[in-house]
Structure 1
Amino acid sequence: MQMRDLVTQVVVERVKEYFADSPVGTSPLPAIRSPADAAALAELERRSGQTLEAGYREFLLLTDGLEGFSMLLLGCRDWEPGGMGEAAEEFRETVLDSEPEDVGVPLGAPLFPVAVNGDRSQGIFLIDTAGPAEERFWWTGEGDSFFFTGFADVLGFLTDAGSYNPKESLSS
């Protein structure tokens, strides 16, 4: 499925949930942002310390993050001072303290947050294991640990958890 179609599907599902709320409007309004530009992507890649996965790069070229979801899908603008990137970094530090090698993340592997929930208890990281693992994304928090090959798989899972069977450990 094309990235544009995946983003559309995620937004459609979230808008349905928003209007199903009673009363309407009690949850955050879903929002699509304007696309990131090449300079912002280059800065984000520099900040992450790794090459951006192709699907995440394509996502940012469509919408520089998505708001109004259980997890904010971070874009380039979220790393500006006062942005949600700061909350994502706090969650990253918590994760690093919790021994991620227990689920197969190599010690010292770069972890860069691409999503975080409001209470900093769940997040999704771009990972670079510099090894044989094909997985580039790790969803963790609240006892969950899911690994995804690409960002398209993450979006598919957000829309329909039965659409993808993620690994729970890199070593499995």
Structure 2
Amino acid sequence: MSTNESWPALLGVAIGTNARLLELEPEIHWSTLPRVKNSEESLRAYESEFLETLPPGYREFLLFADGWEAFYFGMGIFGIPELRGGGNWNPAQELLRTYDDEEVLESIGIDIGDVMPIAAGQRLNLVVVYRTGTKDAGTVVWINSGEEFGRFSDFKACFEFMVTLKQRHLAQVDPDLQN
């Protein structure tokens, strides 16, 4: 998988992978789909209300899916409802502050004011994106259990990584793929 894939193609692969994992391991996977996409007008309204321009790669995702609840083993990708304070927004903010207090962010070179959470919800997983206007604008960092798990040039690269991890897991548990 490469960042040359279109969002519709990536989302299609993710949906198919999720469906098969749900068939094989219903006890650890959720039956979720990405939410219906945003319009350009709804994103501009959010940006105007919160005086924040969303980073381009993440913003592009939101034009194809308004988040995805429980996308990665229970970790949800935020859409506008979460960015407005719903869903896992408060737990994500709490985890971000905890990682700041415990100097996790400093150890991986993140200033808390430069990032915003865009995925959270499973144990100590938190995905943040550097805000527009910062030196690393659009860069995405996945923090897992207090350690940097991955750093990506943009949200699309991070999403592809998540899908690849899910496909690897599927290859391990799907008897049809093991031969």
TM-score by length of 1: 0.76
In the alignment, what sits opposite 2:89?
85
Give the number of aligned pairs: 158
Gaps of 5+ in 2: 168-179
Alignment counterpart, residue 37 of structure 2, candidates 31, 35, 55: 35
Larger helix proportion of the pair: 2
Residues 55 and 130, structure 2, Cα contact 8 Å, conserved in 1:
no
Q: Provide the secondary structure at the position in 2 that maps to 1:32.
A: coil
Task: Give the 5 Å matches for 1:148-163.
Answer: 148-161=152-165
Residues 155 and 4 (structure 1), Cα distance of their counterparts in 2 relative to 1, 3 Å cut: same
In the alignment, what sits opposite 2:127?
124
Q: Is the aligned partner of 1:51 residue 2:56?
A: no
Task: Give the 5 Å matches for 1:125-144.
Answer: 125-128=128-131, 130-131=134-135, 133=136, 136-144=139-147
Q: Cα deviation per residue 1:6-32 (whole Å; 9 max; x = unaligned)?
A: 2222222122111111xx466321222
Residues 68 and 78, structure 2, Cα contact 8 Å, conserved in 1:
yes
Residues 3 and 55, structure 1, Cα contact 8 Å, conserved in 2:
no
Q: Cα deviation per residue 1:100-124 (whole Å; 9 max; x = unaligned)?
A: 121122x3542111100233x1110
Q: Could you tell me how far 1:134 is from its partner in structure 2?
A: 7.0
Identity rate, percent: 22
Supply the AA of the counterpart residue of 1:61: L
In the alignment, what sits opposite 1:167?
none
Q: Which runs of 4+ in 1 moved over 6 A?
A: none
TM-score by length of 2: 0.74
In the alignment, what sits opposite 2:14?
10
Determine the C-alpha separation between the residues in 2 that align with 1:65 and 1:15: 17
Gaps of 5+ in 1: 164-172
